[in-house]
Homo-oligomer: A and B are copies of this chain.
Amino acid sequence: MISNSNKETDIIRKVAGNFARHPSQVNQLMEADAEIIWRNGEYLVLKTDGIHEEIKTKLYEDPYLIGWMAVTAPISDIAAVGAVPEGILLSLQMSLHENEDWLKQIQAGINDACLHYHSYVLGGDTNFSDSVSISTTAVAHIKAGRPLLRTGMKPGERLYATSLLGTGNAFAYSRFFNQALDVQFRPVARLVESRVLRTYATSCIDTSDGLFPALAVLSELNNVGFHLETPLLKLLSEDAGSVHRQEGLPDWMLLAGPHGEYELLFTVAGEKQNEFEKECESEGWNPVYLGKVIALPKLDFITGSLKIQCHRHTIANLFYESNGDILAYLQLLKQQHEKWVANN
């Protein structure tokens, strides 16, 4: 089945599409990972992000990880627009039955992440509920230069990620299907890397929802496609590669699921490619080259011995077609793979 629209962006348009926009807001709906307002001679950048489903499905159970992610998730969006974070506000729903140690662990996760990102807890709101859930709002600024948007890429430009991918989905697979795999998950928002991107990137998004869902959003917003030249196997992180081998899971599936790795995915103009890569090296990191932006709104990539060309939303929509049922989702991924094998 080929879907003609992106299910995730359809939902966002339905829920938020009718609200009036602030006259000084720089980004349109979905056009950036965070909200950007030009005011008082600078860009004020804000982002609200919630950790709800991750807790409900027990993907996140360790309170330290919950605290760490409550800060890292919105700060990753701050990094994706090239802003500098200042602080966060927390809206915490917790159960009255949680013990003192649980509270200490979640506080430690929040505190450690804030320290790491040179940020502070500015305030918040605590409610008691049957279950745990956190929404965080991050506050940031851009004092010089322009914000990075998801839009702006052109055919021919180069597509990169800040690092190898797939750890988020490898972690989710280990939590849901084989806890013996013991994948470590503690992503770091790419604030340091985003400093170079502010000069060189023509567009940027974080992979909090995974690589293929991010590509689907970029493809729709920019009306382009992607030709991934690097075989997907070479894009996998150590943990993702390990799950791929041990579980016999096709590499593309570890880049398909909606639990991403919080890297930045961005484009650079061809003529800036060398200069950009040198600058990264001098800053102590190496971007991962994925391929090129193409004019046709399609997606092609190499998985194992297969060369796949598919509709830009096919992979991203599989999760929505499963209605969030993890087992059904894995089946849909496997069916998709069999179809590709049969057609090749």
Q: Is the CB of B89 within 8 A of A137?
A: yes
Q: Is the CB of A91 within 8 A of B35?
A: no
Q: Is the CB of A22 within 8 A of B86?
A: yes
Q: Which residue of B lies closest to A92 (CB)?
A: B15
Q: Is the CB of A37 within 8 A of B135?
A: no
Main secondary structure of the interface of A (DSSP, over half): strand
Q: A87-B37, A91-B135 are in contact. Are A126 and B47 (CB under 8 A)?
A: no
Interface band, chain A? 35 or more
Q: A15-B103, A25-B120 are in contact. Are A46 and B126 (CB under 8 A)?
A: no
Copies of this chain held together in the complex = 2
Q: Is the CB of B129 within 8 A of A52?
A: yes
Return chain B residues, CB-CB under 8 Å to A40.
Answer: 40-42, 141
Q: Is the CB of B114 within 8 A of A19?
A: yes
Question: Contact mask A191-211 → B, CB, 8 Å, 1/0?
Answer: 000000000000000000000
Query: A-side interface residues toward B, CB under 8 Å?
Result: 11-12, 14-16, 18-22, 25, 34-35, 37, 39-42, 44, 46-50, 52-53, 56, 86-87, 89-94, 103, 107, 110-111, 114-115, 120-129, 133, 135, 137, 139, 141, 324
* 3 closest Cβ pairs, A-B complex: A91-B135, A35-B123, A22-B120
